[in-house]
Amino acid sequence: MNTSEKVICVAGASGLAGSHIVKAGLDRGYTVRGTLRDRDAPDKAPFLNALTGAAGRLSLFSADMANEGANEGDFDEALMGSDCVFIACLIPTYFGPSGKPAREMDDAQGYAEIIMPTVDGCLNIMRAAARQGVPNVVICSSTSSTNPLPAVAVKNEVDHWSDERQQCQAKKHTSAAKTVMEKAAIKFAQDNGMRLSIILPTGMFGPVILPAQMNNNPHLWLRALINGEKGRHKQIPNDSSSMIHLHDLAALFLAAYENPAASGRYFGVFDSWHWQEIYEELHKILPAMQMPAPLTEPPVPPTGFDFTRRDSLGVALRDIPTLLRETVEWLKTQPSHPHPSD
């Protein structure tokens, strides 16, 4: 693939995953079109425009996934002539417009205010892509759509789906939004002859590009540990967490696009570790950190993954000790406003 002749579009260019897809695309020589709600936002646009290669190959567009019409909408201009759209703007929604937490909603309100805005927003972008003849779509979703009940010891992306009805019954409307969205996107792609890949990440580590991204997990609580403050947990939870380095995640997105045989769902994680192991590793990196209270019961097994499909994309991934160390070392060198080229 001659990347210098290809145009790609990143919907959600200012997000954590989206900004790294933009960076990776520029690094590989693509012409990149990035969308965000306000292309001139002073806390976002300058950091994207400062990326290496942006001066000649990055264009930013104002677009809101809620503003798509049947014939034309916000995304048509950005998608015109693009070979692929990366949909990375479907961030988790934990509160409705009134501020009511998603976990306190009944099914009707949860669907109306949490689930359907994500589903409709994704389909609006895909409709615009179909209008503009964009043949390839890669969506950033979440491993929350791959949790069947009863749970399985080792899950894969083909057989294992969350049940959106069970998720809603458990008041997990935020997670159900990804499950419903993925199913709708798969049907739309099939109906419109698009090649669709879906990447399923969870915890994203490594350097960030926009300053506001420092205020989210895990960077927020890791910085607290570096500063000698309390971190995320008062006590080590009897649970596990799945992780990936942001640079590796972006590489998976591009690999799914660049491999013409790639389609369907792919885990976007390196692996899952129990929190006890995570804190033990962090203590090696930060010997003076405040440790949470120890686990008082036998640790549950961490989430098990079948990585056959992920590995078929051919991306070498940093292991968990490496991604933790690189994130901590980067945070130690950064002021409150990181330089976007780091």
Helix, strand, coil content of the chain in percent (nearest 5)? 40, 15, 40
pLDDT recorded at residue 67: 80
pLDDT recorded at residue 69: 57
pLDDT recorded at residue 1: 66
Q: pLDDT tens digit string along 285-336?
A: 999 999 999 999 999 999 999 999 999 999 999 999 999 999 999 999 976 5
Answer whether the bond into residue 150 is a cis peptide, omega within 30°: yes
Confidence check: pLDDT of 8 > 70: yes
Taking all residues of the chain, what is their mean pLDDT, rounded to a whole number? 94
- What is the Cα 332 distance to its own chain's centre? 24
Mean pLDDT for 171-199 is: 97
What is the band of 14 on the pLDDT scale with cuts at 50, 70, 90?
Answer: very high
CA distance 206 to 245: 5
DSSP string, 261-292: T--EEEEE-SEEEEHHHHHHHHHHH-TTS-PP
Cα distances (Å, whole numbers) of residue 21 to 9, 80, 144? 10, 19, 21
Contact 300, 227 (CB under 8 A): no
What is the band of 71 on the pLDDT scale with cuts at 50, 70, 90?
Answer: low
Half-sphere exposure of 306 (CA within 13 A, CB side): 13
User: Pick the residue with more confidence: 70 or 178?
Assistant: 178
Q: pLDDT tens digit string along 102-137?
A: 999 999 999 999 999 999 999 999 999 999 999 999
Confidence check: pLDDT of 10 > 80: yes
Confidence check: pLDDT of 76 > 70: yes
pLDDT recorded at residue 72: 67
CA distance 246 to 168: 30
Q: pLDDT tens digit string along 256-295?
A: 999 999 999 999 999 999 999 999 999 999 999 999 999 9
Q: Which residues are paired to 18 by β-bridges? A: none
Q: Taking the domains of the chain in order of start, what are their residue ranges?
A: 3-204+242-271+303-319
CA distance 139 to 129: 13
Confidence check: pLDDT of 70 > 80: no
Q: Per the structure block, which two tokens stand in for 107?
A: 């099914």
Mean pLDDT for 24-31 is: 97
Mean pLDDT for 144-151 is: 94
Confidence check: pLDDT of 341 > 50: no
CATH class of 3-204+242-271+303-319: alpha beta
Which three-class secondary structure state does DSSP give residue 188?
helix
What is the band of 91 on the pLDDT scale with cuts at 50, 70, 90?
Answer: confident
pLDDT recorded at residue 336: 56
What is the band of 216 on the pLDDT scale with cuts at 50, 70, 90?
Answer: confident
Confidence check: pLDDT of 68 > 80: no
pLDDT recorded at residue 342: 43
φ/ψ of residue 316, rounded to 5: -80, 130
